[in-house]
Amino acid sequence: MKKLTSIVLALAMLLSAAALFASCSKKETLVVCNWGEYISDGEDGYMDVVAEFEKKFDCKVEYVVAETNETLYSLMKSGSVAYDVIFPSDYMVEKMAKEGMLAEINFDNIPNYKNILPEFKGLAYDPEEKYSVPYFWGTVGIVYNEKLLTPEDLATVENAKDFEILWSENYPNRIMMFNNPRDAFGVALKTLGYSQNTTSEAEIRQAAAKLKEQKFLYYMDEFFTAMPNDSLALGVYYAGDYLTVAAENENLKFVIPECGTNIFNDAMCIPKNARNQTLAEKFINFMLEPEVGRDNAEYLGYSSPNAAALEIMDEEIKDDPVAYPERKDSWEAFRDLPEETNALMRDLWAEILTDNK
Amino acid sequence: MRKTLSWLYFGLIFLFLYAPILIMIVFSFNGSHNITVWGGFSLQNYENLLHKSKAIESLWNSLVIALLSSLGSCVLGTMACLGLNNLKKSRGLVMNISNLPIINPEIVTGVSLMLIFSLLFSGSVGLGFHTVLLAHIVFNTPYVILNVMPRLRRMDQNLYEAALDLGCPPVKALWKVVMPELFPAILSGFLISFTYSMDDFIISYYTGGTFQTFSVFIYNSLKKGPQDWMLALSGILFVAVLTILIIMNVHDIRQEKREAVKR
Amino acid sequence: MKSKKPLIPYAIWMAIFVVIPLIMIIVNAFTDKSGAFTLDNLERIFFKDPTLRYNFLNSLKIALISTVLCLVLAYPIALIMARQKPSVQRLLHFLIMLPMWMNFVLRICSWLLVLQPDGILDVMLRGVGLLSPGQSNPLYMTETAVVLGIVYNYLPFMILPIYTTVAKIPRSLYEAGEDLGCSRWNVLKKIVFPLSVPGVISGLTMVFVPAMSSFVISMKLGGFALMGDIIDNYYKGTGGDPHLGAAVSIVLMFFIILSIALMNRFDKDDDVVLA
């Protein structure tokens, strides 16, 4: 018995010594919080961006993912995390900047900022270009599986006027909806013919009622496995991610309805409580390098605002109508909404998730 | 007849408890790209797991946390018992407070610890390995106390007194007389702590910041649905657990036999 | 050994990591974002917010169904186990413990693998012709699947404490009962059951508490939120309202502690058997 204990004890000592040793490495660390599948990670022959950065600047990157802008916001507010670089979308940049959660970026450390196309600079969410550097932009549309849809539905969806097809009765448990309030409400509001930035309580309540009519699978990152393996018939998601899954399953198609859709800009920002702002700025600058920007864009399928990257990009990808579509007036960018509207949406969202069965 | 029925019932319950695990293990040897469609025997999933360095790192994290927190809880818990034993009126109250972290819903314990940790470690330290370790000691110590306390109360107090009367210094008497008596209880407290620590998800999820234990890592990856390397992981885990439990049981049986012979 | 001093480190420890955190949650529950005192969070739970109330009742319903189901399934198992030879008992005990050692999240993952569309169950049912190709099983994303997941996860926690108490009942008691002309059923009702009450109660507690505050299981298998998910949503999810989250946590905690206290009144022993 004693022998067993001493072995256990010795093992524990060894382990703890090893753990201490591992955590004491002298390298600088950078904590990056991105969305799932939102950086080129060395697959398909593209650059492993994080590893490349670690090598170039001799540092360690702790790379974590959040699911939605709202989760990112909650996590940062809870005080349990301190990130160095985050990737919020337009309306969230606006909100965080307003609430003083973002650090002002020192653009002297980001010479590659010149690579960004002028039409993506100084947009409404950060008009003075203080807090954010554009990363990608894109659209939202219906993703459907040709093989699984009935001929009538297929005809409807190919010329979709709005997102109504998502409320079809023909595919129980096989239709996905965004698992975040802003995007989901956006889809419902557009279908009802309202603005995605409405502050009218009646319109938002109507949208909530609309969402409750269908039992959706509320997914985010699950999309990447569920869509290509045929377990979903229909869904609504981001164009760039559609291109990723379409490469795995040729039956998947994408369409933007006539009623218009959301056009989003995701940006790179540095939170105020970042521990290593200088390294964070180096990271952002690195992301704007032409080769890095190209590999990210080609691997992810999202639309790049980086002129230098676009120049060296594969022609076929650059001309893809899904990734680089012709913009329409009916497309809207999200704006930060007043707190009452956000609160209303949050409450209704809780109701929707509770009701969903 | 009655016997057959009861074994049949037993079999059904066991099927329920084991079928999902066995399915995972069988499909961990699946060679097909689609994880639920059988495509012939292959070790491909295990190979994928080897390349998943983050998964292996998180498993290592969990092991270190489980070992250190169980050790810490044993020390803290045993000391607490020695003191508690001498409390008269307030023992019940102290025990009740002590049991709070395990009676409370895990999510409430997790959230409350997150609050205190973000207060204590605000600024540049933040949450991480150290906070998960502290949190695990918080919920493991009550299990150690619940194991050690009854043993201590059943123990003959006169033994210790006798040692003192014979001129043994108190610390030595504690170490030579009391500890051997408590040892089996401390050991089982250690094992229970270790198990709970390895299995814990919610509390690590709330107190870890960007530090990921094994459960948290799988949870984060499960957002994309079950993946091939998870099956391989459960295969390995099952074999590891089976081996450990068998060794422990064989050890126990031998011990009992030896004791039976002594008597 | 008369000294109380060894308790001091743990007393300080408990103050910092048990008492103060709870006070912090309570303070959060009674304040708003600016830190000013408010009763609004609690009012919302009890009066203003039908969703929260519905959610609470729904969690309670699912927790009760799962707990009762666990009890019904576990009791016969405990009885059968206690009747075996010691070596067989040990083996069965071992076999029941084993799945508990598999990681919680992996256990949920295994059910996802079985239940998800085109999962193992679908493939099997299609194989025997119960489902036509393209059809999926009706279980996934339902309350039934959630109950199944909870029962699967916590059944051993019900079996083991009951088994422990039943196994302690001496054989002679059964024999005495039978000698005095009791039927098997009456022996069970009049002798075994009353003696197993402490085990039943600790089993009920150990299943009910986690089931009531269930987190992850319901979202993954049912697609809807239960209490645990709701609290999580306020802190780390899209809800973004830690103060309301704190209030919900407090209410849940008091409800659970109250129900444990209530259950323990049926037990004359005041030790709660844990694990």
Q: How many B/C residue pairs have CB atoms within 8 Å?
A: 232
Calculate mean pLDDT across residues A285-312.
94
Higher pLDDT, A53 or C123: A53
B221 and B231 part of one domain = no
CA distance C58 to chain A (A): 9
pLDDT of residue C272: 43
Overall number of domains in chain A: 2
CA dist., res. B135 & res. C21, Å (int)? 12
A162 and A178 part of one domain = yes
Calculate mean pLDDT across residues B105-134.
90
Mutate to test the interface with C, among B108, B152, B216, B252 (most CBs of C within 10 A): B108
CA dist., res. B82 & res. B87, Å (int)? 10
A133 and A143 part of one domain = no
Question: Is B114 within a domain?
Answer: yes
Beta-carbon separation of A16 and B227 below 8 A: no
Residues with Cβ within 8 Å of A36's Cβ and at least 6 positions away in sequence, in order, are A65, A67, A220, A221, A224, B223, B224
User: Collapsing DSSP states into helix, strand and coil, what is residue B125?
Assistant: coil
Cβ A149 vs Cβ A316: under 8 Å: no
Question: Is B8 within a domain?
Answer: no
Question: Is B14 within a domain?
Answer: no
CA dist., res. A356 & res. A208, Å (int)? 12
CA dist., res. B64 & res. B59, Å (int)? 9
B219 and B231 part of one domain = no
A147 and A200 part of one domain = yes
Mean pLDDT of chain C: 88
Identify all chain A residues contacting B224, using CB atoms and an 8 Å cutoff: 36, 221-222, 224-225
CA dist., res. A208 & res. B51, Å (int)? 44
Q: Which domains does chain C have, with CATH numbers?
A: 23-264 (1.10.3720.10)
CA dist., res. A31 & res. C245, Å (int)? 27
Q: What is the pLDDT of residues A77-118, one digit of tens each?
A: 877 788 999 999 999 999 999 999 999 999 999 999 999 999
Residue in this structure with the two tokens 């965080």, named with its chain if needed = A96
B77 and B183 part of one domain = yes
Calculate mean pLDDT across residues C93-103.
88
pLDDT of residue A26: 65
Strand partners, A267: A134
Residue B29 scores a pLDDT above 50:
yes
Range of the domain at B263: 227-263
Question: Is A16 within a domain?
Answer: no
Residue C275 scores a pLDDT above 50:
no
CA dist., res. C204 & res. B241, Å (int)? 27
pLDDT of residue C273: 41
Q: What is the pLDDT of residues C212-227, one digit of tens each?
A: 998 999 988 988 888 9
Q: What is the pLDDT of residues B165-214, one digit of tens each?
A: 888 888 888 888 889 989 989 999 998 999 899 999 999 999 988 899 99
Range of the domain at A247: 138-263+332-355
A258 and A268 part of one domain = no
Nearest to C117 among A71, A218, A231 (CB): A231
Q: What is the pLDDT of residues B52-101, one digit of tens each?
A: 888 999 999 999 999 999 999 999 999 999 999 888 888 889 999 999 99
Beta-carbon separation of C224 and A357 below 8 A: yes
Closest CA to B105 of C236, C63, C104, C214: C214
CA dist., res. A49 & res. B109, Å (int)? 38
B110 and B213 part of one domain = yes
Q: What is the pLDDT of residues A40-82, one digit of tens each?
A: 988 888 999 999 999 999 999 988 888 889 889 988 887 778 8
Tell me A233's DSSP state: S
CA dist., res. C90 & res. B255, Å (int)? 14
CA distance A258 to chain B (A): 30
CA dist., res. A131 & res. A267, Å (int)? 9
pLDDT of residue C177: 83
Burial, A62: exposed, middle or buried (Cβ in 10 Å; 0-12, 13-18, 19+)? middle
Cβ A252 vs Cβ A244: under 8 Å: no
Closest CA to B227 of A224, C131, C152: A224
Residues with Cβ within 8 Å of A168's Cβ and at least 6 positions away in sequence, in order, are A153, A175, A234
B176 and B133 part of one domain = yes
CA angle, A288 then A292 then A298, to 5°: 115
C144 and chain A: CB distance < 8 Å anywhere?
A: no
pLDDT of residue C225: 85
Residue C127 scores a pLDDT above 60:
yes
Beta-carbon separation of C10 and B102 below 8 A: no
B70 and B197 part of one domain = yes
A281 and A341 part of one domain = no
Residue in this structure with the two tokens 């009747």, named with its chain if needed = C83
Beta-carbon separation of B210 and A62 below 8 A: yes
Buried b (16+ CB within 10 A) or exposed e, A218-237: bbbbbbbbbbbbbbbbbbbb
Mean pLDDT of chain A: 89
Residue A173 scores a pLDDT above 90:
no
User: Closest chain C residue to B21 measured between Cα atoms?
Assistant: C110
Structure tokens at A322: 């899904």
Identify all chain A residues contacting C224, using CB atoms and an 8 Å cutoff: 353-357
A255 and A297 part of one domain = no
C232 and chain A: CB distance < 8 Å anywhere?
A: no
A81 and A35 part of one domain = yes
Q: How many A/B residue pairs have CB atoms within 8 Å?
A: 65
Residue A24 scores a pLDDT above 70:
no
Beta-carbon separation of B108 and C275 below 8 A: no
Q: What is the 3-state secondary structure (H, E, C) of C66-116?
A: HHHHHHHHHHHHHHHHHCCCHHHHHHHHHHHHHHHHCCHHHHHHHHHHHHC
Tell me A250's DSSP state: T
pLDDT of residue C145: 95
Question: Is A6 within a domain?
Answer: no
Cβ B216 vs Cβ B201: under 8 Å: yes
Q: Greatest CA span in chain C, whole angstroms?
A: 74
B129 and B251 part of one domain = no
Cα dihedral sign, B232-B238-B243-B248 = positive
C-alpha dihedral, A289 to A294 to A295 to A301, nearest 10° = 140
Burial, C211: exposed, middle or buried (Cβ in 10 Å; 0-12, 13-18, 19+)? buried
Question: Is B171 within a domain?
Answer: yes
Nearest to C143 among A70, A353, A357 (CB): A357
Structure tokens at B138: 């918080």
CA dist., res. A126 & res. A112, Å (int)? 18
Reported residue count of chain A is 357
pLDDT of residue A21: 55
Question: Is B27 within a domain?
Answer: no
B117 and B127 part of one domain = yes
Identify all chain A residues contacting B126, using CB atoms and an 8 Å cutoff: 80-82, 275
CA dist., res. B86 & res. C5, Å (int)? 9
pLDDT of residue A97: 95
User: Collapsing DSSP states into helix, strand and coil, what is residue A41?
Assistant: strand
Q: Would you list the DSSP string of B97-152?
A: HHHHHHHS-HHHHHHHHHHHHHHHTTTTT-SSHHHHHHHHHHHHHHHHHHHHHHHH
User: Closest chain C residue to A178 measured between Cα atoms?
Assistant: C238
User: Closest chain C residue to A171 measured between Cα atoms?
Assistant: C135
CA angle, A353 then A354 then A356, to 5°: 65
pLDDT of residue C170: 87
A213 and A340 part of one domain = yes
B69 and B190 part of one domain = yes
Question: Is B56 within a domain?
Answer: no
User: Collapsing DSSP states into helix, strand and coil, what is residue A257?
Assistant: coil
B197 and B139 part of one domain = yes
User: Closest chain A residue to C139 measured between Cα atoms?
Assistant: A173
Which CATH number covers residue A232? 3.40.190.10
B184 and B112 part of one domain = yes
C-alpha dihedral, C54 to C59 to C65 to C69, nearest 10° = 170
> In this prediction, what percent of chain A has a pLDDT beyond 70?
92
Which CATH number covers residue B112? 1.10.3720.10
CA distance B108 to chain A (A): 15
CA distance C199 to chain B (A): 16
Reported residue count of chain B is 263
Overall number of domains in chain B: 2
C236 and chain A: CB distance < 8 Å anywhere?
A: yes
A73 and A166 part of one domain = no
Question: Is B125 within a domain?
Answer: yes
Strand partners, A33: A64, A86
Q: How many helices (H) and strands (E) would you count in chain A?
A: 14, 9
pLDDT of residue A11: 66
Residue in this structure with the two tokens 């894109």, named with its chain if needed = A138
B251 and B261 part of one domain = yes
Q: Which amino acid is at C185?
A: W
Beta-carbon separation of B117 and A80 below 8 A: yes
Calculate mean pLDDT across residues C87-112.
90
Calculate mean pLDDT across residues A186-212.
95
User: What is the rounded end-to-end Cα distance, in angstroms, of chain C?
Assistant: 28
pLDDT of residue B53: 84
Identify all chain A residues contacting C235, using CB atoms and an 8 Å cutoff: 74, 78
Phi, psi of B92 (to 5 degrees): -60, -45
Beta-carbon separation of A215 and C223 below 8 A: yes
Beta-carbon separation of C118 and B82 below 8 A: no
A240 and A345 part of one domain = yes
CA dist., res. A172 & res. A170, Å (int)? 6
CA angle, C170 then C173 then C174, to 5°: 100
Reported residue count of chain C is 275
Strand partners, A63: A32
Identify all chain A residues contacting C143, using CB atoms and an 8 Å cutoff: 357
User: Closest chain C residue to B239 measured between Cα atoms?
Assistant: C102
Cα dihedral sign, A217-A223-A225-A226 = positive
Q: Would you list the DSSP string of A151-191?
A: HHHHHHHHT-SSSGGGG-SSSTT-BEEESSHHHHHHHHHHH
Calculate mean pLDDT across residues A302-328.
91
pLDDT of residue B254: 79
C43 and chain A: CB distance < 8 Å anywhere?
A: no
- State the CB neighbour count (10 A cutoff) for residue A256: 21
Q: What is the pLDDT of residues C19-39, one digit of tens each?
A: 999 999 999 999 988 889 999
A102 and A215 part of one domain = no
Tell me A89's DSSP state: B
Residues with Cβ within 8 Å of C197's Cβ and at least 6 positions away in sequence, in order, are C165, C266, C267
Burial, C129: exposed, middle or buried (Cβ in 10 Å; 0-12, 13-18, 19+)? exposed
CA angle, A304 then A181 then C49, to 5°: 165
CA dist., res. A180 & res. A139, Å (int)? 16
Mutate to test the interface with C, among B2, B36, B89, B147 (most CBs of C within 10 A): B36
Residues with Cβ within 8 Å of B22's Cβ and at least 6 positions away in sequence, in order, are none
Beta-carbon separation of C21 and B113 below 8 A: yes
A268 and A350 part of one domain = no
CA dist., res. C128 & res. C31, Å (int)? 59
